[in-house]
Amino acid sequence: MLYAVLIPLLIACFIPYLSKFKDKIHTGIFVLFVPLSIFIYFLQFIDTNFVPVAQGYSWIPSLNISLDFYLDGLSLLFVLLISGIGTLVTLYSIFYLHKSERLGHFYVYLLMFMTAMLGVVLSDNVFVLYTFWELTSISSFLLIGYWHYRERSRYGALKSMLITVFGGLSMLGGFILLTIITGSTSIQEMISQTDVILNSPYLPLVMTFIFLGAFTKSAQFPFHIWLPDAMEAPTPVSAYLHSATMVKAGIYLIARFSPVFSAYEWFFIIVSGIGIITLCWGSYMAVRQTDLKGILAFSTISQLGMIMTMLGFGTKAAAFAAVFHILNHATFKGSLFMVAGIIDHETGSRDIRKLGGLMTLMPISATLALFGTFSMAGVPLPFLNGFYSKEMFFDVSLDLSSTSLFIAEIMKTSIPYLAVLGSIFTFVYSMYLFFGTFTGEKHLDELPSKPHEAPIGMLISPALLIVGVIIIGLIPNLVNEPLLAHAAKAISGEEVHKHIAFWHGFEAPLYMSLIVVIFGSILYIFRKKWTDIYLLIPGTLSLNKVYDRILDGSEKYSRKITNSYMDGSLRKYIALIMIATVLVTFTTMLTTDGFTIKTDDLAKVTVSEILIASVMVAAALGTIFARNNVAAILILGVVGFGLSVLFVLYRAPDLALTQLVVETITVALFLLCFYHLPNLRPRTESFKTKSVNAIIAISFGALMTMVAISAHSSKWFGAISEYFIENSYELGGGANMVNVILVDFRGIDTLFEIVVLGIAAFGIYAMIKLRSDKGVE
Amino acid sequence: MIRANDLILRTTTILIAFILFGFSIYLFLAGHSAPGGGFIGGLMTAAAIVLMYMAYGYEAMKKIIPVNYQNLITIGLAIAVLTSIGSFVFGEPFLSQTFEYFHLPVLGEKELATALLFDLGVYLTVIGVTMTIILSIASDR
């Protein structure tokens, strides 16, 4: 199975070489065999007595991450969809994309996506699943932005990337929590530990995180907004990614974890609640679109909402209905996208207002579209698969067990009504899609090119899908036991056997279907009369506006915030640094009870010390208030010389000498520098600024004093100076202990201090001598 | 700028500079056993040179002491590093110092320490650094 997953990626490495011959042979022909062989390989697994297959390959054993693949009924259904529709889409793209396009890029991205998608549905390890999940986001991003010179493509690609990666990351959070709870990274292992997970206090968090991932990927309300914008991708991509495979990854995720979560009572409320909202909102919005692919995008959103609703029910029958609809939706939606692509290709327009009356010009496409749209609408005809799954949806929505939660009760009664409502709109847009395009007046002069039937190659893929629609419609039980029963078993955790029949008596689902058809027809016929409602409702509720506002707002506010404190003023930065130091130090000292004063080991204060200290304080104050810069430097010198006198008093002759000379040289250097500088300008800051600065400075000084006192008052062990006193003559051979420490005991400090001095000297030399305005030779 | 006839300054400078030189070398050599050392010694030497620069001017001093102070920094650092590495030769860790008492012909029983070589590096570096900084700034127009 490892090869089945990775072969597309391996082939993708050779695409750049193959695409060199694209003038002679279309690159897609090479690619075609990849999904086809995978499809044939997995076709062999279809069997009534199918048992899940597990295979493991080592990857990162130390992190308990291995390439574990697990093929059960659910995975098999998805794998067949991915490889089967992948084959058809590749075939279609051979005729859709002209040789002048960058075919190499296209097929590399497409194969990358194929690997990613196969990996998502086959992985048993959550982190491997996540890896492939993000690969689908990236390859989808690349495919949506395929025509990157178009602004709309870039916008759509970025939007889908941001939303799906947001979901993907939150899903990773959920996976990590699950791993912590169960101590395992395997999904099957997690399912076997369902009780542990359900009793965990992190359960709500895990579910929120994982559901965010699933809902963003599957374009559920309110994260559906990326899907309509992703329609800027080439049509084969829309047909493949945004109808049949990638958008179902979220569905797959929910279905995969359904055995774990469905016992939790909020599972139904969240999944079915979001699903039913998505169903209604998507189908309502689809009627409003004028772009063929726009209609199909919102239709996909609403159909995904329907599948999600069924998954939320958590019953055996609902699981079966869900997998059945996954299969049906993939067939008819894929073909509809391809037909939309054909119309776009042959007429040059996707605007349904410009199209019309194409029935006689494009009879084959019209036939295909007829079956596709009618199946999507769920028209009760015995050769359309959409009707069966819709009927099952109504059936399972009426058959929900009761729970204790009040919201769940409300939802239970309202879901059948909402399901019918959503289906009515589905009916309306399906009819609009077909009749708006293929019947009515012709506007041939408005179209960019003269419409004619598509080449045969382009029609093969949608025709095969429609054949699939009809076969499933005519003999629905063909796929029942070998495929769907196993898939439903993987979701619900128990054996599911169901017989699909077109006719099952005069019962509620049939009446609901009839209501849908009757009301839908009425609404479609009088469509023009009520389209004005759209100007009111989505106009104020548009989620795109919210998205744009969030995006623009975050950019605007982050810029504002950055500008507010990064204004380039060094004074402000210093003030911020000092405030931060004061706050952090003060809180730390306060919370750890750090302020202490001990007076028992203090030395006696002598008169000379007081005298020198007061001179130094006076000089320091003088420096602050000095109005002349030379005066300020000289007064500052007093502080330095006072310090050297203090060193003398405290019996540090080396320090005193060094301080004396260094102070002299610093003062001289200051004077040298200030000779070149203009005179100090009188300080013009407002009183407020001055007092704020004063407060910061005083609090900083006070805090440092307190820290120093506290540090002095809490000595925990004796000094190591005893060692130096004893050994400086014995080991270092010198009587000057300071010097012995500097050059012997701690010589490395000295070594690097002279390096620092050297760097400073060369720095000054370079700054002065090598100025660019001096004209370096 | 018209230079005043600063005869008294120049004459006293000769005397004071040599006393300063002598004192700085004393500080440097005595550092191991009395207050002083390479750092303060170097600063003192630099002070003497600066004094001469002030009295005699930049051009004259370049002839009297034809030393490139940037090279002095390099030499000083090289000495400090090399004496530190030297301890490897004797199988000792980096920067190990040792000392021994020798009986020298004229001076009698004296102590010689390898730390003095390291201090020499410090001494030369400090002179080089101080002079580079002061001359760079002072000669900038």
Decide if A524 contacts A431 (C-beta within 8 A): yes
Give tens-digit pLDDT for A569-598: 888 899 999 999 999 999 998 888 877 887
Q: Which of B113, B133, B136 faces A734 most closely, judged by CB atoms?
A: B113
Angle of the A363-377 helix axis to the A406-438 helix axis, nearest 10 = 160
ipTM of the complex: 0.91
What is the radius of gyration, based on Cα positions, of chain B? 18
Which are the contacts of A182, defined by CB distance < 8 A and separation ≥ 6? A189, A190, A193, A196, A197
Q: What is the pLDDT of residue B1?
A: 43
Decide if A453 contacts A364 (C-beta within 8 A): yes
Maximal C-alpha separation, chain B: 62
Closest of A260, A262, A244, A251 to residue A220, by C-alpha? A251
Residue A681: count of CB within 10 angstroms of its CB: 6
Provide the pLDDT confidence category of residue A680 given band limits of 50, 70 and 90. low
Rounded-to-integer distance, Cα B39 and Cα A658, Å = 8
Rounded-to-integer distance, Cα A339 and Cα A346, Å = 10
> So where are chain A's domains?
262-535, 537-566, 717-777
* Residue A44 tokens, joined: 């062999």
Closest of A341, A103, A156 to residue A239, by C-alpha? A341
Q: How far is B4 from chain A (nearest CA, A)?
A: 21
Q: What is the average pLDDT across A405-416?
A: 80
Residue listed under structure tokens 């301890």: B87
Tell me whether residues B119 and A743 touch, CB distance under 8 A. yes
Provide the pLDDT confidence category of residue A614 given band limits of 50, 70 and 90. very high
Rounded-to-integer distance, Cα B30 and Cα A739, Å = 10
Decide if A747 contacts B119 (C-beta within 8 A): no
Partners of residue A736 in chain B, C-beta under 8 Å? 31-37
CA closest to B82 among chain A residues: A751
Q: Which of residues 493-532 of A touch B (CB under 8 A)?
A: none
Which residue in B73, B100, B111 has the most chain A C-beta atoms within 10 A of its own C-beta, making it the best mutation to test that interface? B73
Angle subtended at Cα A582 by Cα A576 and Cα A588, rounded to the nearest 5 degrees: 130
How many CA atoms does the CB half-sphere of A133 hold within 13 Å?
30
Phi/psi for A60 (5° steps) reads -125, 80
Q: How far apart are the first and last CA of chain A?
A: 69
The residues with which B110 forms a beta bridge, in sequence order, are: B102
The helix (run of H) or strand (run of E) holding residue A483 is none
Residue A404, pLDDT > 80, answer: no
Q: What is the average pLDDT across A177-196?
A: 88
Decide if A376 contacts A336 (C-beta within 8 A): yes
Provide the pLDDT confidence category of residue A777 given band limits of 50, 70 and 90. very low
Tell me whether residues B122 and A672 touch, CB distance under 8 A. no
CA closest to A769 among chain B residues: B136
Q: Chains A, B: CB contacts under 8 A, how many?
A: 137
CA closest to B76 among chain A residues: A754
Decide if A286 contacts A429 (C-beta within 8 A): yes
Which residue in A648, A745, A751 has the most chain B C-beta atoms within 10 A of its own C-beta, making it the best mutation to test that interface? A751
Rounded-to-integer distance, Cα A705 and Cα B133, Å = 34
Provide the pLDDT confidence category of residue A479 given band limits of 50, 70 and 90. confident
Rounded-to-integer distance, Cα A293 and Cα A281, Å = 17
Q: What is the pLDDT of residue A403?
A: 67
For A553-569, b/e burial (b = at least 16 CB within 10 A) is eeeeeeeeeeeeeeeee
* Residue A381 tokens, joined: 């005809």
Q: What is the pLDDT of residue A681?
A: 65
Q: What is the pLDDT of residue A564?
A: 87
Which are the contacts of B17, defined by CB distance < 8 A and separation ≥ 6? B48, B49, B51, B52
Provide the pLDDT confidence category of residue A462 given band limits of 50, 70 and 90. confident
Decide if A124 contacts A136 (C-beta within 8 A): no
Better-scored residue on pLDDT, A479 or A190: A190
Q: How far is B112 from chain A (nearest CA, A)?
A: 9
Provide the pLDDT confidence category of residue A345 given band limits of 50, 70 and 90. confident
Residue A759, pLDDT > 90, answer: yes
Q: What is the pLDDT of residue A241?
A: 85
Q: What is the pLDDT of residue A287?
A: 84
Rounded-to-integer distance, Cα A429 and Cα A294, Å = 11
Q: What is the pLDDT of residue A502?
A: 63
Decide if B70 contacts B61 (C-beta within 8 A): no
Q: What is the pLDDT of residue A775?
A: 53
Closest of A159, A158, A12 to residue A90, by C-alpha? A12
Instruction: Write the DSSP string, A34-56.
Output: HHHHHHHHHHTT--TT---EEEE
Give tens-digit pLDDT for B69-95: 989 999 999 998 888 888 888 888 887
Partners of residue A673 in chain B, C-beta under 8 Å? 137
Give residue A194's Cα distance to chain centre. Answer: 28
Closest of A130, A122, A110, A132 to residue A241, by C-alpha? A110
For A221-240, b/e burial (b = at least 16 CB within 10 A) is bebbbbbbbbbbbbbbbbbb
Q: What is the pLDDT of residue A582?
A: 93
CA closest to A761 among chain B residues: B129
pTM over 0.90: no
Rounded-to-integer distance, Cα B141 and Cα B135, Å = 12
Give residue A208's Cα distance to chain centre. Answer: 15
Relative to beta strand A65-71, strand A53-60 is antiparallel
Tell me whether residues A751 and B132 touch, CB distance under 8 A. no
Residue A150's identity, in one-letter code, is R
Decide if A133 contacts A210 (C-beta within 8 A): no
Q: What is the pLDDT of residue A752?
A: 92
Helix ranges, A626-736 (H): 629-649, 653-676, 687-713, 721-727
Give percent of chain A with pLDDT exceeding 90.
Answer: 20
CA quadruple A504, A507, A509, A510: dihedral sign: positive
Q: What is the average pLDDT across B8-12?
A: 89
Q: What is the pLDDT of residue A773?
A: 67
Which residue in B40, B49, B81, B123 has the most chain A C-beta atoms within 10 A of its own C-beta, making it the best mutation to test that interface? B40
Please state, rounded to an integer, the average pLDDT across all residues of chain A.
85
A658 in B contact zone (CB under 8 Å): yes
Phi/psi for A22 (5° steps) reads -65, -20
Which residue in A673, A754, A771, A774 has the most chain B C-beta atoms within 10 A of its own C-beta, making it the best mutation to test that interface? A754
- DSSP-derived 3-state class of residue A684: coil
Rounded-to-integer distance, Cα A553 and Cα A5, Å = 41
Q: What is the pLDDT of residue A700?
A: 93
Rounded-to-integer distance, Cα A100 and Cα A119, Å = 32
Q: How far is B63 from chain A (nearest CA, A)?
A: 21
Rounded-to-integer distance, Cα A144 and Cα A141, Å = 5
Residue A538, pLDDT > 80, answer: no
Rounded-to-integer distance, Cα A141 and Cα A233, Å = 9
Residue listed under structure tokens 């059960």: A72
Partners of residue B36 in chain A, C-beta under 8 Å? 654, 657, 736, 739
Residue A5's identity, in one-letter code, is V
* Residue A500 tokens, joined: 């699909």
Q: How far is B57 from chain A (nearest CA, A)?
A: 16
Which are the contacts of A617, defined by CB distance < 8 A and separation ≥ 6? none
Better-scored residue on pLDDT, B107 or A471: A471
Closest of A31, A26, A27 to residue A11, by C-alpha? A31
Residue listed under structure tokens 């998502």: A120
Partners of residue B136 in chain A, C-beta under 8 Å? 764-765, 768-769
Q: What is the average pLDDT across A714-733?
A: 81
Provide the pLDDT confidence category of residue A399 given band limits of 50, 70 and 90. confident
Residue A540, pLDDT > 60, answer: no
Rounded-to-integer distance, Cα A446 and Cα A444, Å = 5
Closest of A657, A652, A659 to residue A637, by C-alpha? A659
Decide if A103 contacts A19 (C-beta within 8 A): yes
Give tens-digit pLDDT for A200-241: 888 888 888 999 999 999 988 888 888 888 888 888 898 888
Rounded-to-integer distance, Cα A771 and Cα A765, Å = 10
Rounded-to-integer distance, Cα A306 and Cα A322, Å = 8
Which are the contacts of A44, defined by CB distance < 8 A and separation ≥ 6? none
Q: What is the pLDDT of residue A24?
A: 76
Residue A258: count of CB within 10 angstroms of its CB: 24
Residue A56, pLDDT > 70, answer: yes
Residue A585's identity, in one-letter code, is T
Q: How far apart are the first and last CA of chain B?
A: 14
Decide if A659 contacts B38 (C-beta within 8 A): no
